[in-house]
Amino acid sequence: MIIGIAQINPYVGAIEKNKQLILDCIETARSNLHVETLIFPELALTGYPPEDLLYRPELYNQIRQAIDDLESNCQNINIIFGYPRRDEGKIYNSCGYIKDGRLDATYDKMVLPNYGVFDEVRYFSAGLQPCLIQLGDIKASLTVCEDIWDPMPAAQAKQHGAELIININASPFHANKLSEREAVLTARNKETGLPIIYTNLNGGQDELVFDGGSMIIDSDGSIKAVAPQFKDGIFTLTLEKQNDRISFTADWTDNRDSSDSSSVYQALVLATKDYVNKNGFNGVVIGLSGGIDSALVTCLAVDALGADNVEVIMMPSRYTAKMSIDDSVALARNLGIEHKIIPIEKPYSAFMELLEPLFKDTSTDTTEENIQARSRGVILMAISNKSRRLVLATGNKSEMAVGYATLYGDMAGGFSPLKDIPKLQVYALAKYINQQQMLIPQRIIDRPPSAELRDDQKDEDSLPPYDILDPILKMYIEEDKSPQQIIESGYSKDHVLPVINLVDQSEFKRRQAPPGVKISKRAFGKERRYPITSGYRES
């Protein structure tokens, strides 16, 4: 039996588009690949996560019509697909099996994740029973995503006579996620002895990116093959049963990528591409400063959208070094993108003249620095309004964590690709780009980072060195370690306590920041929900 895994990129809420995408895959699988059963990911009809769209009654009318159309077009092929199902006032995260042109079986997800970015308990009711279908002479158990992370559904499937587990997923990416999935799948196989077909979603959706990486686990627990990450496609395998043993022959090669920088960079590119395109923008505009953050954002934007859809604006001030302009121009030329130089001295001077009566008898401080950043924000947003190009913010996770950014200035933008990328990882990604092709001028990577908002300014004037700052932030934000635990791990109290205080004080800024893609195990946004107004402090 030839089985197809459809690794697709649906558009959340666009039921008609997603249905057509599924129909196109069916036609290709049936006519060109001779697939007998085609497996789609979790919630393929709605995309994931549909969030409060699940409360719209009309959604289910569209889903019902889409399923009717799928049934009508499933001649000589069967499909397994995910969709939300409403029944007697309850909503289920369901997996349907269309056989011989009709919805033959339905399984409701039993284990509902309610942690990190997941809040399925808010929307769905849990299923109660396993569901076995017949694939030729093989009994296969349908499961959905989190079901495979818990031993119970696989054990129940085994008890009910399953010989194979089919697991459909919308499993979002974070660094090293592929190896985590492999460990979970091999654990389920070890417990049950059952082979597993694992199908995953691909594509960006707001702050999440799904990386594909669909895979098959043989009866002996070996990973038979892994589909490419961050790519759509139909991947076929031959399923055979001999002497009660099921075996797979994959028609694709193993595509596991051992490079952390490669997978993270691909995730950023795909997330940016889908955010811009699915929201209907004509491209992007970026403030290119001569620093490493904006250089990295520009490179990934070109890879995501093409050079013709990326415009960079250099906005020097009286404090901008000549090397910053020279390096920015060199980068733009290396990438073949449109670039303009718009000095901000006139708007900055106008603001200072306007505010002079109010600032009389006060000393110069970060207020004047922020006016420069906000002048740049106004220019970028004006270009965005005229061109319908989305402004990409260029701040990184380290800056967002401690509030080293200007509201309505360098934080202005519609999407922030580096929002979950700490500064040290920014350097690693820039070096990765140059290993593929020398695009970023080496001086951008080598020079000390600076906001260039006053004379001789460097980030380390205000912050600890990033090789100290980033580990402290990771322990506090991602690992929930206390200040004392961080200090005991070898970091100075004089570094740890001020950094943690900055993190706690900066929540109001982060709440107003543009969305950005999740890369770490805990990103700012819906995954880390702290009150803005809070008197809580740790000793």
SS (H, E, C) 90-111: EEEEEEEEEECCEEEEEEECCC
Sole residue written with tokens 């119970």 = 152
Q: What is the pTM of this model?
A: 0.94
For residue 240, report the phi and psi dihedrals to the nearest 5 degrees: -130, 150
Contact, 326 vs 461, CB < 8 A? no
User: What pLDDT does residue 380 have?
Assistant: 97
d(CA 231, CA 7): 8
User: What pLDDT does residue 257 have?
Assistant: 65
Instruction: List where CATH 3.60.110.10 sits in the chain.
Output: 2-252
Contact, 320 vs 311, CB < 8 A? no
Tell me the three state secondary structure of residue 174: coil
Return the active site residues. Answer: 42, 109, 145
d(CA 51, CA 99): 29
CATH assignment of 261-459, given 3.40.50.300, 3.30.1360.70, 3.40.50.620, 3.40.1280.10?
Answer: 3.40.50.620
Neighbours of 488 (CB within 10 A): 10
- What is the layout of strands, in order, in the sheet containing 78-87? 102-108, 90-99, 78-87, 37-39, 2-7, 233-242, 245-250
d(CA 256, CA 230): 12
Mean pLDDT per block of 10 residues along the chain (539 residues) reads: 96 97 96 96 97 96 97 94 96 97 96 93 95 93 96 96 96 93 95 96 96 92 91 93 84 74 96 97 95 97 97 93 93 95 95 94 91 95 96 96 93 96 97 95 90 77 91 95 95 95 94 95 89 85
List all residues 6 or more positions away from 231 whose beta carbon is below 8 Å from its beta carbon: 7, 202, 212
User: What pLDDT does residue 510 have?
Assistant: 94
Instruction: List where CATH 3.40.50.620 sits in the chain.
Output: 261-459
User: What pLDDT does residue 538 have?
Assistant: 80
d(CA 492, CA 486): 9
- Between the two ends of the chain, the Cα-to-Cα distance in Å is 62
CATH number of 2-252: 3.60.110.10
